[in-house]
């Protein structure tokens, strides 16, 4: 009996040790904290306050903007450098960049609060099966006589439980990104950066077609499929796409912005207001999609519990009851 308890203790120790090794890899499913963006926001605020007080920031301070997490750092540094070289005011672009980073921090905090219920279910999902296995082993008389067969069933139940946990975490991450698949989630910040860079170039006096072409390399670094969808050629014909998905929303937005720039260029009107209005509309549509996905997360989170955790627990109960009757 002492050898059996020693083997069981060793098995549970190895299980929790493996779980501890797995947790760092699971952190990518969590809404990432805004610590680095907080410092970036403070940097932009310091530069803005210095400019409002009449002080010019040093070159080192301007270069620190490029250290902001991608893609915001490269966007802010390139856009502000473009405006400074042409002797144009930088405060409007600086305030818009500050607003973008503030919105991202707020969105991350809000998403973290909204998925708290799902994370509570994930904790139950991770602890329910081991708790039931230990309770059955201690309460039912025939379970201990099963030996390796019982621990084999426990291992299978834990494996199924882990699948349910990963499923639940992926649902939380998918809801936070408005249903976007993992490969397309980088599109959203790059689309915002593209719009802000086009707006900064237009304000610096660059023609719309050249502003579109000069902003394309920035977009191609992280969202090259959008370049093919929008068309690197400013005068290319727009392709059809659907707004039913979040990816389709961004694809159609780029085509609408290009059409608006083409009309403004032909009509000889200002393009900045159209791009600014299109960016505001895109953010509202995105926020509405995220809100809808987070609202549905509570009901969708029940799927892993029914399809993974429940069969694992019921299987352990069935084996335990059969063992108690036979022995």
Task: Give the pLDDT of residue 101.
Answer: 78
Query: Residue 327: which pLDDT band, with cuts at 50, 70 and 90?
Result: low
Average pLDDT over all residues of the chain:
75
Structure-token pair, residue 159? 């494996």
Task: Give the pLDDT of residue 35.
Answer: 44
What's the rounded mean pLDDT across residues 173-182?
82
Half-sphere exposure of 301 (CA within 13 A, CB side): 25
User: Does 237 have pLDDT greater than 70?
Assistant: no
Structure-token pair, residue 321? 């009851």
DSSP structure string for 253-306: HHHHHHHHHHHHHHHT--SHHHHHHHHHHHHHHHHHHHHHHHHHHHHHTHHHII
What's the rounded mean pLDDT across residues 42-65?
78
* pTM reported for the whole predicted model: 0.70
Q: Where are the beta strands (DSSP E) in the chain?
A: none
User: Does 190 have pLDDT greater than 80?
Assistant: yes
Q: Which of 64-73, 164-173, 198-207, 272-281 has the lowest mean pLDDT?
A: 64-73
Structure-token pair, residue 207? 């023609």
Task: Give the pLDDT of residue 176.
Answer: 81
What CA–CA distances, in Å, run from 136 to 8, 180, 216, 248?
14, 42, 62, 51
Task: Give the pLDDT of residue 28.
Answer: 47
Task: Give the pLDDT of residue 198.
Answer: 85
Using DSSP's 3-state secondary structure scheme, residue 141 falls into coil
User: Distance between CA 92 and CA 52 in Å, rounded?
Assistant: 12
DSSP 8-state code for residue 245: S
User: Does 195 have pLDDT greater than 50?
Assistant: yes
Structure-token pair, residue 102? 């503030």
40-61 b/e with 16+ CB inside 10 Å = b?
A: bbebbeebbeeeeeeeebeeee
Residue with tokens 């990104």: 177
Task: Give the pLDDT of residue 223.
Answer: 80
How does pLDDT run across 95-111, given as a tens digit for each residue? 777 777 787 777 777 77
How does pLDDT run across 261-280, given as a tens digit for each residue? 888 877 777 788 888 888 88
User: Distance between CA 262 and CA 256 in Å, rounded?
Assistant: 10
C-alpha closest to that of 133 among 3, 1, 306, 11? 11
C-alpha closest to that of 213 among 203, 196, 198? 198
How does pLDDT run across 137-159, given as a tens digit for each residue? 777 777 777 777 877 888 888 88
Q: Which of 17-26, 53-62, 103-112, 250-259 has the lowest mean pLDDT?
A: 17-26
User: Does 215 have pLDDT greater than 60?
Assistant: yes
What's the rounded mean pLDDT across residues 217-225?
80
What's the rounded mean pLDDT across residues 42-67?
78
Structure-token pair, residue 48? 């803005």
What's the rounded mean pLDDT across residues 295-320?
82
Return the ∠ at Cα 72 (arms to 199 and 184), rounded to 5°: 95
| Percentage with pLDDT > 70 across the chain | 79
CA dihedral 211, 213, 217, 218 (to 10 degrees): 20
DSSP 8-state code for residue 35: H
User: Does 180 have pLDDT greater than 80?
Assistant: yes
Task: Give the pLDDT of residue 11.
Answer: 53
Query: Residue 31: which pLDDT band, with cuts at 50, 70 and 90?
Result: very low
How does pLDDT run across 105-130, given as a tens digit for each residue? 777 777 777 667 666 766 776 677 77
Half-sphere exposure of 154 (CA within 13 A, CB side): 23
Task: Give the pLDDT of residue 196.
Answer: 81
User: Does 32 have pLDDT greater than 50?
Assistant: no
Most confident among 3-17, 48-62, 237-251 (mean pLDDT): 48-62
């Amino acid at each position: 009996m002492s050898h059996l308890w020693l083997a069981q203790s060793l098995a549970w120790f190895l299980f929790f040790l493996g779980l501890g090794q797995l947790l760092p890899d699971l952190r990518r499913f969590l809404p990432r904290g805004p610590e680095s963006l907080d410092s970036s926001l403070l940097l932009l605020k310091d530069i803005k306050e210095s400019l409002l007080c009449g002080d010019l920031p040093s070159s080192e301070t301007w270069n620190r903007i490029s250290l902001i997490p991608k893609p915001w750092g490269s966007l802010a540094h390139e856009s502000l450098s473009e405006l400074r070289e042409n002797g144009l005011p930088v405060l409007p672009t600086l305030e818009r960049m500050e607003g973008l980073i503030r919105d991202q921090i707020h969105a991350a905090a809000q998403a973290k609060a909204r998925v708290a219920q799902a994370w509570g279910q994930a904790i139950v999902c991770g602890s329910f099966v081991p708790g039931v296995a230990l309770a059955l082993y201690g309460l039912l008389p025939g379970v201990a006589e099963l030996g390796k067969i019982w621990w084999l069933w426990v291992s299978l139940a834990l494996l199924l439980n882990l699948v349910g946990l990963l499923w639940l975490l992926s649902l939380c991450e998918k809801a936070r990104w408005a249903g976007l698949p993992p490969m397309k989630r980088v599109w959203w910040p790059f689309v915002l950066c593209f719009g802000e860079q086009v707006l900064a170039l237009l304000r610096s006096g660059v023609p719309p077609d050249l502003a579109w072409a000069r902003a394309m390399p920035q977009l191609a670094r992280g969202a090259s499929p959008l370049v093919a969808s929008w068309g690197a050629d400013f005068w290319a014909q727009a392709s059809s796409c659907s707004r039913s998905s979040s990816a389709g929303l961004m694809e159609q937005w780029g085509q609408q912005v290009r059409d608006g720039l083409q009309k403004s260029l032909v009509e000889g009107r200002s393009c900045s207001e159209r791009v600014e209005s299109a960016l505001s509309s895109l953010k509202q549509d995105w926020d509405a999609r995220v809100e809808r996905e987070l609202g549905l997360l509570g009901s969708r989170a029940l799927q892993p519990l029914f399809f993974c955790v429940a069969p694992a627990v019921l299987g352990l109960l069935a084996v335990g009851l059969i063992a108690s009757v036979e022995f």
